């Protein structure tokens, strides 16, 4: 009985691999967006809103896991690598100055109010398009690649703003907590991509960057 169970699991595992490898786009949403190379894209440093009014849209998760300054700088470096990799021919400008927060920039409201703030930031830096990356939730892995007491979890969002029109062109959301394969066999592709190990929060955030690059046409 034990041998039969193992063989059945192995067969299921192999069939799932074949299915994952043969996936095709099921809708136009799965097809990468193409953004004209005539646009110059400026990239703001990562930041973490902690109040609803500091958001462009959406909401602050509760409870919110916070990220430290060193990890924010690490994400800036990783985002530069993701955007400029794979022989990218797009013209990027990576801004080093974070958007300033002043006492009058935000109000104590329950609605996202930061779009005007980021548009002003974009005009100040003479941006055509401005990519604004946010970390909304951040939980580091507790344990090792082999086993954890708490898995990594991140929520990152990316907004592509068109400064001239004052509009949000597109938005990409990545909200992920790593779970064991036994919880959901449909996550096999993610399991294989992560080499069957428990990854760190930075690794999940990088997945979010790659997703955003595809969805925003960058």
String of DSSP letters for 37-87: TTSPEEEPPPB---SGGG-SSS---SSPPP--HHHHHHHHHHHHHHHHTTT
- Residue 204 CB: number of other CB atoms within 10 A? 25
- The CATH number assigned to the domain with range 35-215 reads 3.40.50
Query: What pLDDT does residue 25 have?
Result: 44
- Residue 124 CB: number of other CB atoms within 10 A? 13
Percent of the chain topping pLDDT 90: 53
Query: What pLDDT does residue 162 have?
Result: 96
CA distance linking residue 120 with residue 51, whole number of Å = 19
Query: What pLDDT does residue 73 have?
Result: 96
The answer to whether residue 131 scores a pLDDT higher than 80 is yes
The answer to whether residue 3 scores a pLDDT higher than 60 is no
pLDDT digits (tens, 9 = 90+) for 162-205: 999 999 999 999 999 877 655 554 555 555 565 567 788 999 99
Query: What pLDDT does residue 147 have?
Result: 63
Tokens, residue 184: 């959901």
Tokens, residue 214: 């595809």
pLDDT digits (tens, 9 = 90+) for 35-63: 888 888 999 999 999 999 999 999 999 99
pLDDT band at 154, cuts 50/70/90?
Answer: very high
Least confident of 95-109, 120-134, 198-212: 95-109
pTM of the model: 0.78
Tokens, residue 93: 């400008």
The answer to whether residue 69 scores a pLDDT higher than 60 is yes
E-assigned strand segments in the chain: 41-43, 92-94, 129-139, 142-143, 148-150, 153-162, 167-177
């Amino acid at each position: 009985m034990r041998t039969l169970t193992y063989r059945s699991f192995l067969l299921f595992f192999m069939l799932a691999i074949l299915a994952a490898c043969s996936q095709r786009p099921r809708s136009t949403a799965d097809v990468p967006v193409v953004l004209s190379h005539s646009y110059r894209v400026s990239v703001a440093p990562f930041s973490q809103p902690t109040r609803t009014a500091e958001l462009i849209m959406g909401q602050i998760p509760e409870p919110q896991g916070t990220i430290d300054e060193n990890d924010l700088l690490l994400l800036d470096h990783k985002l530069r690598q993701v955007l400029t990799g794979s022989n990218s021919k797009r013209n990027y400008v990576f801004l080093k100055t974070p958007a300033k927060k002043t006492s009058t920039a935000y109000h104590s409201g329950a609605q996202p109010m930061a779009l005007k703030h980021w548009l002003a930031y974009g005009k100040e830096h003479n941006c055509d398009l401005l990519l604004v990356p946010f970390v909304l939730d951040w939980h580091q892995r507790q344990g090792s690649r082999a086993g954890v007491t708490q898995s990594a979890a991140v929520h990152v969002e990316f907004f592509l703003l068109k400064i001239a029109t004052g509009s949000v062109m597109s938005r990409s959301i990545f909200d992920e907590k790593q779970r064991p394969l036994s919880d959901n066999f449909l996550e096999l592709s993610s399991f294989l991509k992560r080499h069957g190990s428990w990854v760190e929060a930075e690794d999940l955030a990088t997945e979010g960057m790659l997703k955003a690059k595809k969805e925003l046409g960058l």
